[in-house]
Amino acid sequence: MNALWVRFCSAILCLLALIAQVHAARATDFGVEVNPIHEKLEAAGMTDWLKARFSEIELEAMPHEQLRVESYACGCYDQPTRHFPYRIVSLKTPRGDLITRPEGQETVVHFIALAVRYGDLYCDAQSEESCYGTFAHPCDFTDFRYGRNLAPFFPTCRSDSDGTTARTPLDDFGFGP
């Protein structure tokens, strides 16, 4: 299962790397038909999000160091703070970071927008005027946003091997035992 997840995450990173190469030559410039993977990225919503923030000229001129991808695997064994299991992919840009959840269906990977991050401030992806609050780490945000729903499925995330209750980010938001 872990090897399968590594392959899945690698595929996600490869797809996002394609987005990061927006300044590279386009296939249509050479009379070649556009790769169908571009359509899959369009469907995933990443390209639309980028186009809403940057003009085509800005994207072409942007150094690829300013467009980065980070992935996070939150989990019950995180130290010093435990988190509920959650996978996150962040598309980092100079105008905010798109925080997404990867979902794969057959040969297509979709990225479900969870939030837009400005520094430590996380805001709703559709209405960026409505914000959830500030969080030091993306896993703290997903615990806050989805922890209540995940808690019944992962009761051992809250307990140490000796049976004592472990401190999690949910304690800071009133979801503690």
At 81, is the pLDDT very low, low, confident or very high (cuts 50, 70, 90)?
A: confident
pTM beyond cutoff 0.85: no
Q: What is the mean pLDDT of residues 123-136?
A: 90
* Structure token pair of residue 14: 């490869």
- How many independent structural domains does the chain possess? 1
Residue type, 158: R
pLDDT, residue 44, reads 57
Token pair 């085509």 is found at 56
pLDDT, residue 19, reads 45
- Rounded to whole angstroms, the Cα distance separating 174 from 172 reads 6
36 burial via Cβ count (<10 Å: 0-12, 13-18, 19+) = exposed
Residue 29: give the domain boundaries.
Answer: 2-173
- Rounded to whole angstroms, the Cα distance separating 90 from 101 reads 9
CB-based contacts of 43, cutoff 8 Å, min separation 6: 108, 110
DSSP string, 2-67: HHHHHHHHHHHHHHHHHHHTTTSPPGGGGTPPPPTHHHHHHHHTHHHHHHHHS-HHHHHHS-GGGS
Q: What is the mean pLDDT of residues 117-136?
A: 92
